[in-house]
Amino acid sequence: MSEITIPEHLTSRALRVAIVGAGPAGIYAADLLAKSQPVASGELGLKVDLFDELPTPFGLIRYGVSPDHPRIKGIINALHKVLNNDWIDFYGNVGLGRDITLAELKERYDAVIIATGAQKDADLNIPGIDLEGSFGGADFVSWYDAHPDVDKNWDLSAKEVAVIGNGNVALDVARILSKHADQLIETEIPAHIYEQLNNSAVTDVHVFGRRGPAQVKFTPLELRELSHSKDVDIVLYPEDFEFDKASDEAMKTNNQTKTMVSTLTNWLIEQEEREDAPSASRRLHLHFLQSPVEILGEDGKVAGLKVERNELDGTGNAKGTGEFIEYPLQAVYRAVGYFGSAVDDIEYDGAKGVLPNVEGRVQDAEGNFVPGLYATGWIKRGPVGLIGHTKGDALETITHLLEDLTELAVPASEQTIAELLTERGVDYADWSGWLALDEQEKALGAQAGTVETRFGEVTRDRIKVVERGEMLEFARAKKLAESL
């Protein structure tokens, strides 16, 4: 970081920063600001206001991580510690462009950081993608994570299902589809999610990746979790285990690749040596070296998937062989990545799904930097990397913000954002409101107590509140109590 010059007006008051998006990207940015040398040393004061269109903080950790991932869900504990500080305030149920404008933020803050992430599905442009029974993986994740703005009902009538993709989201989708709901009842899923999954007609889930086992994009943890599903057989195919020169090199130099190939190979060996026939009520098929060509339909509904068999070209990439296979299916889920959405009054790169920027400094249509406007997380660099990568990304953005202190415009309005939102009648949830909702969800889990399932007794620690209005009622109750 280059030497930071603090302008005179920031020696008598705190630096005011608005962060739009209360997921890991936004919270990490706030934390790094607070821990930066000029703030930590007391040379520069700091006041951060964190906004989210949902009534709750934590973004994709709450609404994008599978409920049976308690270790990843545990990241919320670290994020909670950041938000539980006097120098940061949370404003939930406040949408940029819906309740406030970018201009209104710039009037009140020295800098604005956009951390809205990527929440929708990337496109998969093949024939039949719009058939009934063709779904986006991100939409399904939002459903089983009980996102308040998603329809509470999901069509689970298909017996045979395809999941297209070889990343962590694809495995999450496949695992939730194939896993028995009784193994999920100990998680935070609400009753309507459990009931629909429990009544699912699924018997076979097929996961398709276009390259080989050494090129998969999921992690060893995700892969191992597949084997933890009870009454579900994992099915592999010997003809899919092809390795080229690049594959061999990756297995030698990358421990993660070596671990995953070893796990898959051992499963295949065990499958071939098994004398008894598979007996589980559900099967999870892992297919490699197959690319989707067309979703087949009948009467407007998904009836199958046509794929082309591939071969590796020596560099780890795949090329088509001209051999085609058709699988009878009644549903297809595309899980080929997330994609960012446009943000009101900010230039947007529709091809990449990001805000045009250079290392977090946002650009306008002519490529000029927009003073005081920054981006971090997936809306900055696209939906790549794991949650941990977001810290390094935020550090880059915060470094440039601090370098730009002398170039930032002085806020023109003395009206606080709370005054503006109250004046406008925006029903926002603050940090105390989230704490009240958090307590309520834990109380719902405690009320459920011990539950008997087909796999034994389980204890529920939390059950999610689903409806936006109900979330806000708990937030309001806490605010009202504190005001009396």
Residue environment code for 142-175, b if the CB has 16+ CB neighbours within 10 A, otherwise e: bbbbbbbebeeebebebebbbbbbbbbbbbbbbb
Q: What is the DSSP string of 288-334?
A: -SEEEEEEEEETTEEEEEEEEEEEE-SSS-EEEEEEEEEEE-SEEEE
pLDDT of residue 484: 45
HSE-up of residue 266 (Cα within 13 Å, Cβ side): 9
C-alpha–C-alpha distance, residues 358 and 192, integer Å: 44
Cα(275)–Cα(116) distance, integer angstroms: 52
Alpha-carbon distances, residue 268 vs 166, 213, 281 (angstroms): 18, 12, 19
For the chain, the structural domain boundaries read 8-119+339-428, 123-336, 429-484
Question: What is the structure's pLDDT at 480?
Answer: 52
Half-sphere exposure of 208 (CA within 13 A, CB side): 23
Residue ranges of the chain whose pLDDT lies below 70: 1-2, 73, 477-484
Residue 111, φ and ψ in degrees, nearest 5: -145, 150
What's the rounded Cα separation, in Å, for the pair 143 and 200? 14
For residue range 327-352, what is the model confidence (pLDDT) as tens digits? 999 999 999 999 999 999 999 999 99
Spatial separation of the C-alpha atoms in residues 433 and 420, rounded to whole Å = 19
How far apart, in whole angstroms, are the C-alpha atoms of residue 233 and residue 280? 6
**Other Cβ atoms closer than 10 A to 343:** 19
What percentage of the chain carries pLDDT values higher than 70? 98
Closest CA to 212 of 236, 241, 238, 235: 241
pLDDT attached to residue 320? 96
Cα distance between residue 332 and residue 316, in whole Å? 26
Q: Determine the pLDDT at residue 407.
A: 94
Query: 8-119+339-428 in CATH: which number?
Result: 3.40.50.720
3-state DSSP call for residue 23? coil
Predicted pLDDT at 424? 95
Query: What is the C-alpha to C-alpha distance for residues 357 and 374, in angstroms, rounded to an integer?
Result: 8
Phi, psi at 280, each rounded to 5°: -70, 155
Tokens (6 digits) for 116 = 């809205």
Fold of the 123-336 domain: FAD/NAD(P)-binding domain (3.50.50)
324 Cβ partners below 8 Å, 6+ apart?
293, 306, 307, 308, 309
